[in-house]
């Protein structure tokens, strides 16, 4: 076994993201079965016009509770790439 490799393999799925104002964008979402929350990058949220309430975010690990950082909570809809309107659509609250 070669331990020198630093490749990280992530499970990702294609998704359609829709905002309440009608913006729809196809993108990819990582799957994390151990996550306790949903996160979206600020750059992506800004690009699709998501607005929300400022809220400090504190990310922790096994060894540390981390320092709070500036963030905001936004809501949006996620569905199949074929279109959120053609299948199951999930509302993501406070990502």
According to DSSP H, which parts of the chain are helical? 42-47
Identify the band that residue 9 occupies on the pLDDT scale cut at 50, 70 and 90.
Answer: confident
- Copy the structure tokens of residue 44: 């992506």
State residue 57's pLDDT score: 87
Angle, CA of 36, 42 and 48, to the nearest 5°: 110
Chain segment 23-45, per-residue pLDDT in tens? 999 999 999 888 888 889 999 99
pLDDT digits (tens, 9 = 90+) for 11-20: 999 999 999 9
Exposed/middle/buried for residue 81 (C-beta within 10 Å: 0-12, 13-18, 19+)? middle
């Amino acid at each position: 076994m070669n331990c020198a490799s630093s490749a990280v393999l992530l499970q990702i799925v294609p998704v359609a993201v829709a905002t309440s104002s009608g913006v729809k964008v196809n993108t990819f979402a990582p799957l994390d079965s151990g996550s306790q929350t949903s996160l979206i990058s600020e750059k992506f949220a800004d690009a699709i016009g998501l607005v929300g309430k400022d809220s400090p975010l504190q990310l922790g690990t096994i060894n540390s509770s981390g320092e709070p950082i500036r963030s905001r909570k936004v809501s949006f809809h996620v569905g199949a790439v074929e279109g959120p309107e053609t299948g199951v659509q999930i509302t993501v609250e406070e990502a």
